[in-house]
Structure 1
Amino acid sequence: MTAMKSFPREIVDLISKLSVEQKVSLVSGDGPWSTTAIPEIGLRRMVMSDGPSGVRGEVWDERHKSFTLPSATCTSATWNRDALTTLGAISALEARSKGVSIVLGPTINLHRSPLGGRHFEAFSEDPYLTGELSVSYIKGAQDNGVATTPKHYVANDSENERFTVDAIVDERTLREVYLAPFEDSVVDGEAWGMMAAYNAVNGETMTENDLLRTPLQTEWGFDGFMVSDWTAVRSVEEAGNAGLDLAMPGPATIWNEGLLAAVQAGTVSMDALDDKVARLLLLAQRVGALGDSVAKTPARIDARAEIRTIAAQGMVLVENSGVLPLAGASSIAVIGQHAEIGRIGGGGSATTIPYDSVSPLRGIREAAPAGATVAHAYGVYSVDALEDYPLEQITASNGEHGIDVSWFGEEGNLLESEVRYANFLTRQWPDISLAAKSVKASTTFTAVVDGVHRFGGGGMGHLTVYINGEQRISEKIQPEGADPAEALLAPPQRYVDIELAAGEQVVISTEFVTDIPLFFGLVTSIFGYRAPRKSEQAEWDEAIALAKASDVAIVVVGTTALVESEGHDRDSLALPGQQDALVDAVIAANPNTIVVVNAGSPVEMPWRTKAAAVVLTWFPGEEYGHALADVLFGHAEPGGRLPTTWPVAMADVPVLDTTPKDGKLVYSEGLNIGYRAWAASGKTPAYEFGYGLGYTTWELVDFTAPANVAPGEDFEVTVSMTNTGDRDGSDVVQIYASRENSTVTRPPLWLCGFDRVSAEAGETVSVTLTIKGRAFADWASGWNYEVGTFTLSAARSVKLDGALNADVTVN
């Protein structure tokens, strides 16, 4: 068996004990989230769960909570490898608490376009920064015994037509840009797994693509397992012979239906099958699911405290007239709907149900100085979706504060009844053929204020809504897009408005029948509510009056789940609704206006230079409010530096398009994405890559590098920085490479090193960084090294203001 040569002897011996039927069952999955157990050889079931912003476990509902970690854009803004290692360790601890052995993350696709729907879920526009942070996360999780699967291999950088899009990428760009973070994850991070994307690359779908073998296994030495994205396997023979090892979700995969016959017929080789089995057995050994192997107990960690610290370190201060950190304000106006709800994570499969989500308003109120007043007004409503019922206002049939929910099968047979506590009703059945086809929900609602109350539901199928037994809505809701994840995770909603007096009770019921193909056995329905609101003019007037009457105004604006989510790309970088107009009006009413931007990826900010301060918070996890208050009141520094470029306007973005033409998305920009494309275009963004302000000032004072290095040789450089301010603080030193008069087409400049530095006021500190020899390489049927002189620039952002330069000659 030639395929077994590189695997341990004990793994090869176990494979020889398995029947072909057992081997096929192992590579086909055994449920929505699990692999097959084979007790005869001591192989136990392994459970996978979505990361990378928390670990959900096998059950996705409000009764099974998980820490919601800061989004990838927030964590990457820390430029802190140790922070990512900590988040990996938290993920491992959460995973083991839920019986999970494998985390489906981190997401290491690139920010090719700011319109990408999952932009918030990926680290950066830069391959080097992405790779370094991925390695740190992997080590944090795997050192604690939980496998990772960097995803989505490869060129899954946007959502439009993601199941079928063919990314056309030249070989050099693939190697130097899009494959680079995956290479780092394997070579430096020693990842135990990886996930193959839905899309095709250069005409071949990724679950069948030659890239699964070369360079992954042959050049990089990857001995981990390759799992498909869910439902991404489209063939038996092509995928069976490729470097794909596990088709998910099981058990009804295309492999389970045809792989056995293909192996028996010889159209899929036994060596290929044995190689897959070997990788899964090696994985089981690593995570403690095989024979005498034992799952490692993760180190204990104060997850909430770490989430709070990392979230603050990822917040980027981009404007500050001196109003921050706040001091001496006796009255604080907090304005905006996002201030009350706070978006802690992006939409889609990265979603987790938090233990205790701290809103910006709550955090500011808890941290405000003694004697200071904190008042809130909405101004405008940026989110208009149905929300969770206030539990104290609803009663289930058993007397609990909750919702009666019943799930029914194809023939109307009752599958299960339960009491639920949130508006997003979801269940997943391991056997898709026996999954629920309809759901009924009901509760008795008690009004606590007079006004117009909104009740309704949503889903993809037929929805009926009853108020006190009277049918008020009966409608078949059609998908607005083709992506099943979008249809399931953010379905359209319908509602009815009812005038109620305080103390009045009504019975709210819905019936929902799905009529779309089930996405691996998942059924979802919305059963939601919206409290009475004041008129739009009244809300606006109240906010402006509050701003005028206060010492300082804090406006929290942001995107919504309908804007940034898996399943679709954005079509605009503008904030939804009237939020820009609200910011302008508040600034006019109070010059001490701080704008907090709660978006996971770039948005246009036409008011940015008029605000006294602007803080980008991304989606910072469930300690949002506390972390934000730490930054605003100066208990922590806004430590973030931009991991991606923020434009003034969408029209300025040099690489923007995410819409395939005739099924193809051509990466015609080649090597120049992100800041490289901005530099090549000559356009000026609002805020450049690597930019960010703190509460002190810095100066680069010395930079040393070797004069000569051998081709491909790693080397060290040393940078000294002085904290020239009157406060302790931190900064990020960044090293960029460039080459004039190169014989090879190159980007204008590219990141090749970075590190965080901390210093007391007036202190000078030095940091030594390792620059990889590959930083100077270019790909042309292999890695090549152009001899001659490269310039290294030590800087505080890609703008290179105040940079120190050193020439390094490759010879």
Structure 2
Amino acid sequence: MTTNAQLADEIIKQLTIDEKAQLLSQVIWETTTISHLNPHLSKFLLADGPAGIRRLKEYFDDDIYNTKPSTAYPSPSTYASSWDPNLLTQIGKHIGEEALQEAVDTMLAPAINLKRSPLGGRNFEYYSEDPYLTSTLATHFIQGLQSTGVGACLKHFALNNQETRRMNLNVEVDEQTLHELYLRAFEKPVKAGKPKMVMTAYNQVNGDYCASNPELLDILRRTWGFNGVVVTDCFAAHDLGQGIKHGLTLQMPGESKENITNQIQQLITTQRLKITDLDHAVKRNIVFALDAAGERKHRKNYNRDAHHDFARKVAENSMVLLKNEDQVLPFTTNQHLLVVGELATHPRFQGGGSSHVNPYHLEQPLAELKKINQHITFAKGYQIDNLHQTELVQQAIDASANQDAIVVFAGLPDLIESEGYDRDNLDLPINQNQLIQAMVATKKPVIVVLATGSVVTMPWQHSVNGILESYLGGEAGASAIANILFGKVNPSGKLAETFPKQLSDNPSYLNFPGNQHTVLYGEGRFIGYKYYAATNKNVAFPFGFGLSYTTFSYQTTKPLVNPTHTQVTFQLTNTGSLGGQAVAQVYTHFLDTTVGQEPLQLAGFQKVYLKPQQTKAIVIDLDQRVFQTFDTTTHQWITNAGTYHIYVGNASDDSQLAAEISIYGVTTPVTANSNLSDMLQQPTMKATLQLLFKKHPKSAEFLALTQDKDPLKARSMGGLMTFNTLKRVDPTLNDHVINTMVQTINQKGDLIHANHSK
């Protein structure tokens, strides 16, 4: 049977250069009949969709919100807070089922750029500040979506961490940070998720636009082995020849056939593009189109009400209870409650821009609360679009009399969080903060329900009794809030981002959003909780934090970490009276660094449901990347040998169980310019060097000096010496001998350890 790849080869043989060129443009595929090029070729349709399908009614409609109704799921920042990979798989499947009905071949999702700054305008659409959590959740989303036959488009590759000047800004980032944070977030989704598409970002990275960036595209194609379609973000093909040469295949939305054919003909005439490179690009697009056509036979209608109910389940599993002083929550059905805030009647449920969804059935929080409790009074309290309605505050104060508690619905207006621009600050509107303070002054218990896509500051944090971060809960978020407030659902969401006390605490503060041309990632690898842990800086709420209506305890009766350092094992018990879900989190910290402090790293996690008083044995696989670093000398991942602190807890700053382990091997590859002090930081390297210097007595003398009691001799006369400086004083050393020593150390690792392991 002929495969689609073989059929694509046959089709390419029949096409002229001009016809091939046309197949590099999405406009040609989606809006132009192309069956005349070959009867096997047909249109394919792409649509936005990390929070549901944004399916335009008309392709060239200038109104991006004129879309067909579909299920508005919670925003990615919301469902990432579920810390539940299996839930992400189900989200992907549900969105895929809707895409099948709407004749969509590939969803432009997931979007997984890291949250470098809490000001990022698109943070509601991204998952986390952590690459491991991001990559794990994104992989499951892709697998769920593509199990339906609908393709996933992973975006934005790479370092699209801000909206300000995103179309021209040059990101300056060091190689280690690039690989250990920003590329690490994409690697697992590409390798394990195998998306049908990857979308490049608008911005430049170290001087080259992403759509034609040789370093990024070569990593994607050659290092990671991605064989699907690489598509530009809208209008972002700045160097088409260089892009195609390194793996770009499709422009979005593309150009007319006249423009694209003229460009390709000129590139080939000037030998900036080879026909073989053109053929490779076109083949990937053709295979994609043939695969899409084959999946269309699975199209069917989905149950809209069932998908609405699932959207509620997602929201219930994702909202984060940040404070519950004196167990003010959950409410009972006979309590008299005052609900305050316009967001209770006009909910904020999604972010702005290309992920905007026209909801099938949008719920109202006040109405959902009243379905459970008949003793509810409402006061508007503020207007979203008017900061000076002070009389509304007094009305709320008056209405608070004879109430048992006050629930304030607060959050950011729609226009604050959107694609296209970043936020100016982390503040709620001033009228909302004033309202909350006024409610606190009534001396009644006050619970704040936040509707935000990302971080906000809370000047009233220590004054209120309860805080529920509902994020952007989608069309069924209102009933999810009601179910949590009244205890029908035990909250289990955990923050996938740190909430700092103030904006200036953030590590990117002095380097965001950069100047008119560049942004320097001066904080390096220390973003989010990695920075706060390294500097011991207090935060409002830490990464991984979230409360429950029950309590959990951790125990271990055997070594926490197994001998191969690939798993942790412990027992988890629900010590409360309600069933609930815990998210056990594992963190590692490398202690024996020779190059400055190493960042704290999330190494594994697992979400577990436990009945009251139930105990389960938990086994969590450790991501082996946490024991590695990206070496900028050899440009590869290497193992960090030495001691690691490992702990298990409920958040990044919570250690319930802890252990230390040692990993052996060569940490940083040795070169002729490595000094003895750095080399001796590696376990048993002293014995290794003594063995190598056996026939080189002068070098052995300097090695012995590193142990002298006199620090001047030990550190300066001994420790600073390198192979290249030793050969100046040791006539038995030459370049050949040194190269042999270096090669021996790097290939075999620690000689003494290697001998012991035999």
Specify the TM-score bucket, using the shorter chain as the normaliser. 0.7 to 0.9
1:275 corresponds to which residue? 280
For 2:214, the equivalent position in structure 1 comes to 210
Match of 1:798 in 2: 652
Residue 256 of structure 1: CA displacement? 4.9
User: Counterpart in 2 of 1:632?
Assistant: 485
Shift of residue 662 of structure 1?
4.2
Which letter maps to 2:235?
A: T
Structure 2 vs 1, CA of residues 295 and 257 (structure 1 numbering), >3 Å: closer, same or farther? farther
Q: 2:533 aligns to what SS in structure 1?
A: helix
1:785 Cα deviation after fit: 1.0
1:194 aligns with one of 194, 198, 215: 198
Q: Which residue of 2 aligns with 1:357?
A: 362
The code of the aligned residue for 2:161 comes to D
Task: Provide closer, same or farther for how the CA distance between residues 594 and 244 of structure 1 changes in structure 2, counting only shifts above 3 A.
Answer: same
1:19 aligned residue (7, 16, 19): 16
* Cα offset, 1:809, TM superposition: 2.8
Matches within 5 A, 1:640-651: 640-651=493-504
Mark the CA change 1:37 to 1:366 in structure 2 (over 3 Å): closer, same or farther.
farther
- The question of 1:129 aligning with 2:126 is answered no
Other-structure match for 2:524: 670
| 1:122-173 deviation line (CA, Å, top 9, x unaligned) | 0000000000000010001101111111111000001111111101111111
Query: 1:298 and 1:271 mapped to 2: Cα distance?
Result: 39
Correspondence 1:247 to 2:251: yes
Question: What is the deviation of 1:717?
Answer: 2.4
**1:437-516 equivalences in 2 (<5 Å):** none
CA deviation vs aligned residue, 1:419-444 (integer Å, no higher than 9, x gap): xxxxxxxxxxxxxxxxxxxxxxxxxx
Secondary structure in structure 1 of the residue aligned to 2:409: strand
Give the corresponding residue for 2:585. Answer: 734
Alignment-derived partner of residue 526 in structure 1: none
Contact 1:553 1:590 in 2 (8 A): no
Q: Deviations over 1:633-672 (max 9, x none)?
A: 1111111100000012222222234222241100011111
Which stretch shows the higher mean deviation, 81-90 or 16-25?
16-25
**For 1:664 and 1:804, how far apart are their aligned partners in 2?**
42
User: What is the CA distance between 1:248 and its match in structure 2?
Assistant: 1.2
Large movers: runs of 4+ above 6 Å: none
Give me the whole-angstrom Cα distance separating, in 2, the residues matched to 1:796 and 1:330: 31
Question: What displacement does 1:705 show?
Answer: 4.7
Q: Give the fraction of aligned pairs with identical amino acids, expressed as a percent.
A: 31
Is residue 50 from structure 1 mapped to residue 48 from structure 2 by the alignment? yes
Which residue does the alignment assign to 1:587?
440
Cα distance in structure 2, aligned partners of 1:715 and 1:335: 50
Could you tell me how far apart the structure 1 residues matched to 2:290 and 2:618 are?
Answer: 39
Contact 2:507–2:526, Cα closer than 8 Å, also in 1: no
Distance apart, 1:537 and its partner CA: 3.7
**Amino acid in the other structure paired with 2:504:** A
Deviation of 1:15 after TM superposition, in Å, equals: 1.9
Q: Which amino acid aligns with 2:652?
A: V
CA–CA distance in structure 2, aligned partners of residues 717 and 757 of structure 1: 15
The match for 1:618 is 471
- For structure 1, the residue ranges without an aligned partner over 5 or more in a row are 1-5, 386-534
Corresponding position of 1:29: 26
Give how far 1:82 is off. 1.1
What is the letter of the counterpart of residue 348 of structure 1?
G
- 1:501-580 alignment runs, 5 A limit: 536-580=389-433
TM-score by length of 1: 0.77
SS at match of 1:618: coil
Q: Secondary structure at the match of 2:145?
A: helix
1:704 to partner: Cα distance? 4.2
Larger displacement relative to structure 2 (684-693 or 36-45): 36-45
Among residues 375, 380, 383, which one is paired with 1:381 in the alignment? 383
Aligned to 1:327: 332
Alignment check: 8 A CA contact 1:212 1:242 kept: no
Contact 2:584-2:649 within 8 A present in 1 as well: yes
The answer on whether the counterparts of 2:4 and 2:290 sit within 8 Å (CA) in structure 1 is no
Contact 2:101–2:302 (Cα < 8 Å) also in 1: no
Mapping 1:77-476, distance limit 5 Å: 77-252=81-256, 255-288=260-293, 294-297=296-299, 302-321=306-325, 322-368=327-373, 372-384=374-386
| Distance in 2 between residues matched to 1:208 and 1:642, nearest whole Å | 35
Displacement after TM superposition at 1:31 (Å) = 6.0
Residue in structure 2 matched with residue 604 of structure 1 by the alignment: 457
CA drift of 1:590 comes to 4.3
In the superposition, the TM-score normalised over structure 2's length comes to: 0.82
Which runs of no fewer than 5 residues in structure 2 stay unpaired? 58-63, 666-758
Q: Which amino acid aligns with 1:340?
A: T
CA distance in 1, matches of 2:32, 2:157: 21
Q: Does the aligned pair in 2 maintain the 1:708–1:808 contact within 8 Å?
A: no
Preserved contact between residue 534 and residue 597 of structure 2 (Cα < 8 Å): no
Which 10-residue stretch deviates more, 312-321 or 50-59? 50-59
Which residue matches 1:724?
575
Q: Which amino acid aligns with 2:482?
A: A
What secondary structure is seen at the aligned counterpart in 2 of 1:12? helix
Change (3 A) 1:762 1:127: same
Answer whether contact 2:343 2:409 (CA < 8 A) is retained. yes
Report Cα offsets for 1:256-308 as digits up to 9, x if no partner.
Answer: 5522332355322112211111211222233235xxx6544479572111110
Contact 1:699–1:723, Cα closer than 8 Å, also in 2: yes
Distance, in Å, in 2 between the alignment partners of 1:172 and 1:149 is 26
Note the C-alpha offset of 1:720.
1.6
1:810 Cα offset (Å): 4.3
Answer 1 or 2: which has greater helix percent: 2
Structure-2 separation of matches of 1:63 and 1:798: 40
Structure 1 residues 219 and 240: CA distance shift in structure 2, 3 A: closer
Native 8 Å contact 2:498 2:543 kept in 1: yes
Change (3 A) 1:33 1:650: farther
2-side partners of 1:101 and 1:65: how far apart?
A: 18
Shift of 1:34: 5.7
1:755-776 residue CA offsets vs partner (Å, 9 max, x unmatched): 1011111111122222232221
The higher-RCO structure (CA 8 Å, 6+ apart) is 1
Q: What is the SS of the residue equivalent to 2:441? A: helix
Kindly state the Cα deviation for residue 325 of structure 1 after the two structures are TM-superposed: 0.7
CA distance in 1, matches of 2:628, 2:379: 55
How much is the aligned-residue C-alpha RMSD, in angstroms? 2.2
Q: 1:654 aligns with which of 507, 515, 518?
A: 507
Q: For residues 101 and 361 of structure 1, what CA distance do their matches in structure 2 show?
A: 38
- Separation (CA, whole Å) in 2 of partners of 1:9 and 1:746: 52
Amino acid at match of 2:7: E
Cα-to-partner distance string for 1:673-692 (whole Å, 9 max, x where unaligned): 01001112221101000001
Aligned to 1:411: none
Secondary structure of the corresponding residue to residue 544 of structure 2: coil
Q: Give the secondary structure class of the aligned counterpart of 1:262.
A: helix
Measured after TM superposition, the shift of residue 61 of structure 1 is 4.5
Secondary structure of 1:731 counterpart: strand
Structure-1 separation of matches of 2:213 and 2:619: 40
CA shift at 1:236, angstroms?
3.4
Question: Which secondary structure does the structure 2 equivalent of 1:129 belong to?
Answer: helix
Amino acid at match of 2:342: Q
What displacement does 1:746 show?
5.3
CA distance 1:694–1:33, shift in 2 (3 Å): farther
Tell me, yes or no, if the aligned pair for 2:48 and 2:55 is still in contact at 8 Å: yes
The one-character-per-residue Cα deviations of 1:39-79 (angstroms, maximum 9, x if unpaired) are: 52412100001121111113255562121111111111000
Distance 2:175 2:45 in 1: 35
Report the secondary structure of 1:246's partner residue: coil
Contact preservation (8 Å) 2:116, 2:129: yes
Change (3 A) 1:738 1:230: same
Q: Decide which moves more: 110-119 or 82-91.
A: 82-91
The 2-side partners of 1:601 and 1:541 are apart by: 30
- The CA distance in 2 between the partners of 1:157 and 1:32, in whole Å, is 30
